[in-house]
Chain A
Amino acid sequence: MTHLELIQLLYKHKDTINEAYINKSVDLVSEELVDSTLFLKVANSYRLNSNYTTFVNSILDRVDYGMVFESYKDELANLVRYKNRFIQTKEDFYKENILKLIDDIYLRFFYRDKNISRLLRKLENEVSLEINIIIEQANIILENITELIDANAKINKTFLELKSLDDDIKARVVAYDNDFYNFGVNIDFYIEFLKRFITQTKEKRRQNRLFLNIARKIIDEDDKSLTKLLDENQNRFYNFEYSKFKKIRFFIEDDRRVKKYLKELQLSKPKKLTATTSIIEMPPQKLQMIDIQKIVAKLNALSPQDIYEFLLNLEEIKDENEAFKLYLHLLSFSNIIYEDNFNTYGIKVVRWQV
């Protein structure tokens, strides 16, 4: 069969092949697919040739946990054999085969590295598997990758020896030197990654068990220890939402503003304000230059929806500080109505009602 005929065969049976790729096996296939060895009969079903699946996964950037981490022992043995024969005979036949094997091993290393990287990403983003299986798979991958260190060292040693055989062989090995070095570095990185991942995942497993255990107790109303912990350590925990803080928020908001503005004016900090503290206890002399009656008359005439903004636009108010002081002062008037929102200056919106 030619390559073109193979492509045509794939196209002709694309639906069957696709079904087998997705479902791992099919019950029935055409005889020519079996003859081509694209399908193998396993028990009562037909499975795709693993070489085909590996090729497709590689092209589609997919990888399975069952990925085999080849150490290329056979290729290495062949390389050593050809090397020895080339030393003895100097025949080009052996040289050509050595070059081909170098290319082949390089490509296999390249794809193996890519697949390991994909596999680790898959592991890290795993959502479908149970956490125990994830840890188990990570340990298997770690074991397999660790075994590659020795295999890599043997291949590197053989490649080093090949450099002295012939200039062409040396040039080919040198061309791949850097990449092979990086593959080795990557293996170290993958091992570190996996060790860290396994430790972190075990920690997550421990935490998950704690959450499940406590959640179950909560549902069964058997959560005295949690309730006790929360109750006894209220101040350590997030209790704000349930304090009455929100009810006095407006006053604190003013307190904050007072502090901010007094700080800017380089005056001392005000004393602690409480919900019951009157926010109009501003020193009256700070407003003595402003004619309050005149301002009130304007407010009565215009009934502004946002007093602070209104004050800012008055000619007699020289800056934000003054507007804010006056704003605080006006809050003691019975004409003011508090709105729920804050204006663009971060100040509670208060309108004037006649």
Chain B
Amino acid sequence: MASIKSQIFDILSKGVIISINSDKYHEMANYLSIDENFEAFNETINEIGYKVVGENGYFYLSKNEKLENSEVENFIAFHKKTIVAIAILKQIYPLIASGDIISFTDFIVEFEKKSNSDIEDKLNYLFSSDKKTQIEEFFKLLEKNFIIEKISQKDKNSYKVLNSINYFVKIVESV
């Protein structure tokens, strides 16, 4: 059985942003929340040119050196797409915050009530498919980019909003 440190490394090195309120990764996040664990872990990671960033209830791996030109484009596109997706989420659920539970079906109901040209513009920016597929893709994007996670494998309809949403809040506040 791999140690928790190995498990954390395995997950972070897959590009996962680990949130403390994630049911899937909370044990790892709790481990990293302890200062001495975090520092020891970071020390090891630093030796190979990376660092673990831990703030506001989430952790991620980041490269210390500047990205190569070929990497920058994807790096920026990831952030832009996620910011646009969160803007849609906030238009549908203005009070949404980390820890909230949202459901796919409720979202569709609210979407039908509140949809306007501004929201449609955002969806069209993110996806080129038809409206119904766009909403499915929207949920997939939020999940893939660590904004939401399924609350259980049995319940395919309900998602928890992860702390990593605050990472993007930090960015928009810095612009």
Contact = CB atoms under 8 A, between A and B. Distances in A.
Interface of A: 124, 126-128, 130-131, 134, 201, 204-205, 207-208, 210-212, 214-216, 218-219, 223, 225-227, 229-231, 234-246, 249, 252-253, 255-256, 259-260, 269, 272-273, 342, 344-346
A250 B49 CA distance: 15
Contacts of A273: 48
Interface string B1-25: 1110111011011010100000000
A259 B122 contact: no
Contact of B87 (A215, A231, A246): A215
Taking residues whose C-beta sits less than 8 angstroms from the other chain, chain B's interface range is 35 or more
A210 B168 CA distance: 11
Nearest to A342: B10
A210 B173 contact: yes
Given A238-B53, A238-B167, A346-B2, 5 more contacts: A204-B95, A208-B91, A216-B118, A238-B78, A239-B71
A211 B169 CA distance: 8
B62 interface: yes
A227 B76 contact: yes
Main SS of the interface on chain A? Answer: helix
Interface in B97-111: 97, 106, 110
A208 B76 contact: no
A218 B125 contact: yes
B68 interface: yes
B50 interface: yes
Contact of A225 (B5, B12, B175): B175
A237 B171 contact: yes
Among A214, A241, A342, residue most surrounded by chain B Cβ atoms (within 10 Å): A241
A195 to B, nearest CB: 16
Among B13, B94, B171, residue most surrounded by chain A Cβ atoms (within 10 Å): B94
B125 to A, nearest CB: 5
Given A205-B94, A235-B64, A214 B172 contact: yes
B38 interface: no
B132 interface: no
B153 interface: no
Contacts of B71: 239, 242-244
A197 to B, nearest CB: 9
16 contacts: A131-B95, A204-B94, A208-B87, A211-B83, A218-B80, A231-B72, A239-B62, A242-B78, A245-B63, A255-B48, A259-B44, A260-B6, A269-B47, A273-B48, A345-B2, A346-B2
B49 to A, nearest CB: 8
Nearest to A249: B13
A308 to B, nearest CB: 12
Contacts of B92: 127
Given A212-B90, A234-B66, A346-B2, A207 B175 contact: no
Nearest to B5: A260
Contact of A207 (B53, B110, B173): B173
B86 to A, nearest CB: 6
B60 interface: yes
Nearest to B146: A238
A23 to B, nearest CB: 17
